[in-house]
């Protein structure tokens, strides 16, 4: 089987893109980053892609009369590149209905909170301010809502008394870099089955094989 072709959309720093690029270079990883698209010309993500010899394109939203026109252009670019799975990695624009419909269960996003808690922006700050004891990150399929699609993988981390937005974000980010490649691997191996809101993972350690302990904070 040829590796799954990923099209990564990113607007900024690109550390999740980097995690995907690194994962793709490990032996046996069943996917490759085919193309990176950014709506921001100066996004470090574009630089990270080019450094690895991956095609990187800036698509300027200002060059299009509407969001739909921008979305159509990006879809076209991804299709021409032969992309199988679209991965949002810090992509700061909302994608419209038509874009989502063009890639049914073929768009993933990484979100730095345990959805459905804290959708949207600045969620690490909101988690600290709210006083939750556990937060984390979520990889999910993208549907028409904001951070509402079926959940594929989540990782939990404790929120500590002396946490700031930054320290919590850093703890969560380490887990993001682990679970995004994991979710893509599961997809590439054909092990994900979407049943309504639920994503079943074939052959995953569940039930008796899952670790017995729960994450309790404070322990």
How far apart CA 15 and CA 9 sit, in angstroms, is 12
- Using the rule CB under 6 A, give the single segment among 51-59, 66-74, 104-112, 157-165 that binds ligand GRF: 104-112
Active-site annotation holds for 111: yes
Q: Quick one: which of 3, 5, 15, 134 contacts ligand GRF (CB under 6 A)?
A: 15
The CB-of-113 to ligand GRF minimum distance in angstroms stands at 9
The neighbouring-strand residues paired with 33 are 6
Token pair belonging to 139: 């990889």
- Using the rule CB under 6 A, give the single segment among 5-13, 75-83, 190-198, 204-212 that binds ligand GRF: 5-13
Instruction: Give the chain's radius of gyration (CA, Å).
Output: 17
- Using the rule CB under 6 A, give the single segment among 97-105, 107-115, 151-159, 207-215 that binds ligand GRF: 107-115
Q: Quick one: which of 90, 149, 158, 181 contacts ligand GRF (CB under 6 A)?
A: 90
Considering only residues 161 to 190 of the shown chain, the ones binding ligand GRF according to CB under 6 A are 173, 176
Q: Quick one: which of 14, 136, 158, 181 contacts ligand GRF (CB under 6 A)?
A: 14
Token pair belonging to 218: 């404070």
List of long-range contacts for 129-136, beta carbons under 8 Å, 24+ apart: 132/159, 133/158, 133/159, 133/217, 133/218, 134/158, 134/159, 134/215, 134/217, 135/159, 135/168, 135/172, 136/172, 136/175
Residues that bind ligand GRF in the complex, under the rule CB under 6 A: 10, 12-16, 89-90, 110-112, 173, 176
Active site residues: 111
């Amino acid at each position: 089987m040829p590796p799954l072709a990923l099209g990564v959309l990113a607007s900024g720093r690109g550390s999740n893109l980097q995690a995907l690029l690194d994962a793709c270079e490990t032996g046996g990883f069943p996917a490759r980053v085919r193309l990176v698209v950014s709506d921001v010309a100066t996004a470090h993500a574009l630089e990270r892609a080019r450094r690895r010899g991956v095609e990187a394109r800036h698509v300027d939203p200002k060059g299009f009369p509407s969001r739909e026109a921008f979305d159509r252009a990006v879809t076209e670019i991804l299709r021409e590149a032969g992309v199988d799975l679209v991965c949002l990695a810090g992509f700061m624009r909302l994608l419209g209905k038509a874009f989502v419909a063009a890639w049914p269960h073929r768009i993933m996003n990484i979100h730095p909170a345990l959805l459905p808690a804290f959708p949207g922006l600045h969620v690490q700050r909101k988690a600290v301010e709210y006083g939750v004891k556990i937060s984390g990150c979520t990889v999910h399929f993208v549907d028409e809502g904001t951070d509402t699609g079926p959940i594929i993988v989540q990782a939990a981390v404790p929120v500590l008394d002396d946490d700031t937005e930054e320290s919590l974000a850093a703890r969560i980010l380490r887990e993001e870099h682990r679970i995004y490649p994991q979710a893509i691997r599961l997809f590439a191996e054909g092990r994900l089955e979407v049943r309504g809101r639920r994503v079943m993972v074939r052959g995953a350690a569940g039930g008796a094989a899952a670790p017995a302990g729960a994450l309790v904070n404070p322990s």
